[in-house]
Amino acid sequence: MKEKLRVGVLLSGGPAPGGHHVIATLFDLLDGVGELWGIERGAEGLIEGACRQLKKSEVDHYRHLGGFDLLKTRRKKILPEDIPAIKKTIEKFHFDALVFIGGDDTATNAYKLSKETSCQIIHVPKTIDYDLAVPSFGFDTACSLMSQIIKNLKVDALSTGKYVHVIKMMGRDTSHITLECALRAEPNLALISEEIIADRQTLDQVVDQILSFLKKRDKKYGVILIPEGISLAIPELAEDTELDSHGNVDLSGMESHVRLFQFVQKRAQKEGYKVPPFRFSSLGYESRCQDPTPFDLAYTKKLGIRAFQAILTKKSGVMVSEEKAHSIEEFMVQDPKRGHVVAKVAVDLNGQKFLTFKKGQTACAYQD
Ligand code: FBP
């Protein structure tokens, strides 16, 4: 082994609270035994060789802050033609290990690169979506802020008595965020895309469900959560958007919640029922850059320590959890559209969380 380790770190995908704290933890642990280099703009910087040795002053400034602005982040799939440039960067900067902080697409990048280089490739699970097999950091903070905003909107609705707030919730294909916020903030209604898919519900059936809820609730105000993944469950709600380099649909750019309620309104009109005025909003971007909660600070410290241990024990192609380093190989699946990728984990409809949510649903729907 060289006298001093040289580790590169990058942030990738959407920001998640605690990313800076993973970097600060690695920086602290490497003090005296190595150097930490920041790679700018995720895989883009790795390809371009945009790397700088991190200074204590900047790390200290950012360590407890949300956002990914210390290094910036991008969504970039590593293609076979990018490998020579990445190898050049690894050689030029003499990296012994690279730490990829990101979600499922970043883990796929990390896995593929680990097959091409002897430089150790370690992945730290990040995403507010919470859709990895290993718990990701950032979810707790994002859900705390979103739940607070939902609670505020409930109070707004109750105070003024004139709007039903319809909120589209981030989370991509999965509804973990919607479910968690439904448990924490108790909106009057929350849809879960996984349930819609499992029950093979059609647009008409979902419209029926919402309309019956509004009629039975019989109030001009309330709060409803719609997961952004609903447009994957109900194709009529989707819009044509560009795919990102990993093949992801731009669910956050779609007004699926607005479209859904246009259908509700139309049906109500046909039935001669007057729906309450709706107010539409979305939650996600503001929450994924919130300063981390104590939970996420503690968790990112543990993940940083695990990443450091993985480097010392010469692991590569691994995703760290609180307990250990897992081979990314065990999470790889063949996706019909996106190829050989790290699997996304959906809400478990037989799990305790979902069952608790279902039990409490009626009480939340009709009481304030
Ligand atoms: P990651 O999977 O990269 O963590 O992204 C999370 C997320 O916030 C999703 O919930 C959302 O659909 C997406 O990013 C929006 O990303 P963009 O920044 O490309 O609009």
Identify the helix (H) or strand (E) that includes residue 122: strand 120-125
What is the 224 CA–ligand 1 centroid distance (Å)?
A: 21
| Domain residue spans of the chain | 5-137+292-335, 142-288+349-366
Which two structure tokens, joined as six digits, stand for 105?
A: 């697409």
Q: For 5, phi and psi rounded to 5 degrees?
A: -75, 145
- Quote the pLDDT of residue 353: 98
C-alpha 368/C-alpha 366 separation (Å) is: 7
Catalytic-role residue among 96, 104, 105, 129 = 129
Q: Which is the closest atom of ligand 1 to the Cα of 172? A: 12
C-alpha 300/C-alpha 136 separation (Å) is: 9
What is the 142 CA–ligand 1 centroid distance (Å)?
A: 12
C-alpha 168/C-alpha 162 separation (Å) is: 19
C-alpha 27/C-alpha 31 separation (Å) is: 6
SS3 120: strand
CATH fold group of domain 5-137+292-335: Rossmann fold (3.40.50)
Low-confidence ranges of the chain (pLDDT < 50): none
What is the 90 CA–ligand 1 centroid distance (Å)?
A: 28
Q: Which is the closest atom of ligand 1 to the Cα of 171? A: 10
Strand pairing of 189-190 and 222-227?
parallel
Contact 248, 268 (CB under 8 A): no
Q: Evaluate whether 5-137+292-335 and 142-288+349-366 have a shared fold.
A: yes
- Quote the pLDDT of residue 283: 98
Which residue's CA is minimally distant from atom 14 of ligand 1?
14
Q: Which is the closest atom of ligand 1 to the Cα of 104? A: 2
Q: Which is the closest atom of ligand 1 to the Cα of 244? A: 19
Chain centroid to CA 25: how far?
Answer: 22
- Quote the pLDDT of residue 270: 97
Which residues, judged by CB distance below 6 Å to any ligand atom, belong to the binding site of ligand 1? 13-14, 16, 103, 127-129, 170-172, 228, 251-252, 284, 288
- Quote the pLDDT of residue 1: 52
C-alpha 282/C-alpha 226 separation (Å) is: 9
- Quote the pLDDT of residue 337: 87
What is the 13 CA–ligand 1 centroid distance (Å)?
A: 7
Contact 292, 66 (CB under 8 A): yes
Q: Which is the closest atom of ligand 1 to the Cα of 12? A: 3
Which amino acid, residue 163? Y
* Ligand 1 site-directed mutation target among 22, 170, 283, most atoms within 8 Å of CB: 170
- Quote the pLDDT of residue 2: 64
Smallest Cα–Cα separation from 264: which of 220, 322, 206, 350? 206
pTM recorded for the entire structure: 0.97
Which residue's CA is minimally distant from atom 15 of ligand 1?
252
C-alpha 318/C-alpha 301 separation (Å) is: 18
* Ligand 1 site-directed mutation target among 137, 172, 341, most atoms within 8 Å of CB: 172
Sequence-ordered list of residues with C-beta below 8 angstroms from that of 200, at least 6 positions apart, any chain: none
Q: Is 147 left (phi over 0), alpha (psi -120 to 50) or beta?
A: alpha
Query: Is 129 an annotated catalytic residue?
Result: yes
Exposure of 53 by Cβ count < 10 A (0-12 exposed, 13-18 middle, 19+ buried)?
exposed
What is the 239 CA–ligand 1 centroid distance (Å)?
A: 17
Handedness of CA 298, 12, 167, 350 (dihedral sign): negative
- Quote the pLDDT of residue 241: 87
CATH number of 142-288+349-366: 3.40.50.460
